[in-house]
Amino acid sequence: MRVLGIETSCDETGVAIFDSKEGLLAHALHSQVELHASYGGVVPELASRDHVRKVLPLIQQLFHDAGVEASSLDGVAYTAGPGLVGALLVGASVGRSLAWSWGIPAVGVHHMEGHLLAPMLENEPPPFPFVAMLVSGGHTQLVEVARFGHYQLLGESLDDAAGEAFDKTAKLLGLPYPGGPELAKLAEQGDPSRYRFPRPMTNRPGLDFSFSGLKTFALNTLQEAEKQEGGVISQQTRADIARAFEEAVVDTLLIKCRRAVRQTNIKTLVLAGGVSANRRLRQRIDEMMNKEGGAAYYPRPEFCTDNGAMIAYAGCQRLLAGEAEALRFSVQPRWPMDALVIDD
């Protein structure tokens, strides 16, 4: 089964071709970072319009790179949610229409299921069952994955997602959008012992998260430092605050992952979503899983953030399981993952 995947849920246009026998044949990505940078965040209407401009040329480039003809495809998968509604509608309408014109089935994919399955594209994919921590700009979730299509939500953020907290704190520190990777870079020069940020919701039971307080803590720390340093804080102080913030997020995520692994007695942990590209997080999670006698799995860094490959992969599995949309499409800006049961 050979599937074209289309991802347009936010600010990246991603396309890919996955073949269930031959693996990933090609993928291409157009990032809108420059388009949104001067606004300090994603402008939904600009995102939709840019997807409209880029998605078809990117698909043409993909066929060219893969040396593949459209006639060899067996299906089309597009991200149907969650995400920005206008952006989702671009990928969904293009995906559904192409599938109709080629006379092949189409399937709508859940963006977070795509992230969750992204490590399956690696040479050593994680074995089922596993615990997955999805850490992106819009979601922070712990999910028990029994097998493909069987997901149980164990816990999630009650307010900001981890990536959102990275982005908002980066903005406070005067870093350009998208802030997460920039903050991580700055933190590398920071002294971890100068400031200590709280580890929210770690000293009570449960697997939920809350990250909105950390950004307020960062603001207060920044304002206090500004007072002490006469109005303009030094580069070192900014790096120290970035480091303390990153340590707090990493520690909090690690504590909840360890709790989930112990609670479920599943010793395979998958990290996915944009924040799982964070080097410090990977290093600390690897150490923790070693101690627990298990192992952690991640997508390659370029497949941690949004991409078409994960949608092509997840769509291929859904089509193989017999799913397909009728001759219509819909998108769901909000979409709980528990609703994704595969009948077997």
Residues that bind ligand KG4 (CB under 6 A): 10, 136-138, 163, 166-167, 178-181, 184, 273-275, 277-278, 305-306
User: Minimum distance from CB of 87 to ligand KG4 (Å)?
Assistant: 11
User: Minimum distance from CB of 167 to ligand KG4 (Å)?
Assistant: 5
φ/ψ bin of 118: left (φ > 0), alpha (ψ from -120 to 50), beta (otherwise)? alpha
User: Minimum distance from CB of 273 to Zn ion (Å)?
Assistant: 6
The entry of Zn ion, ligand KG4, none near residue 163 (CB within 5 to 8 angstroms by kind) is: ligand KG4
> Do residues 215 and 168 touch, judged by C-beta distance below 8 A?
yes
User: Minimum distance from CB of 311 to ligand KG4 (Å)?
Assistant: 12
How many other β-carbons are positioned within 10 Å of the β-carbon of residue 111? 28
Which is closer to ligand KG4, CB of 181 or CB of 308? 181
Residue 64 vs residues 16, 17, 286: alpha-carbon distances, Å: 12, 12, 38
The region of 59-67, 134-142, 220-228, 260-268 touching Zn ion under the rule CB under 5 A is 134-142
Region 22-81 residues binding Zn ion, contact defined as CB under 5 A? none
> Do residues 197 and 245 touch, judged by C-beta distance below 8 A?
yes
User: Minimum distance from CB of 284 to ligand KG4 (Å)?
Assistant: 13
Which is closer to Zn ion, CB of 73 or CB of 109? 109
Nearest to 41 by CA among 180, 189, 195: 180
Beta strands in 82-171 (DSSP E): 106-110, 130-135, 140-147, 150-156
| Per-residue x/- track, 267-306, Zn ion (CB under 5 A) | ---------------------------------------x
| Gap between the Cα atoms of 112 and 80, Å rounded | 11
Provide the H-helix boundaries in 133-173. 162-172
Region 306-335 residues binding Zn ion, contact defined as CB under 5 A? 306
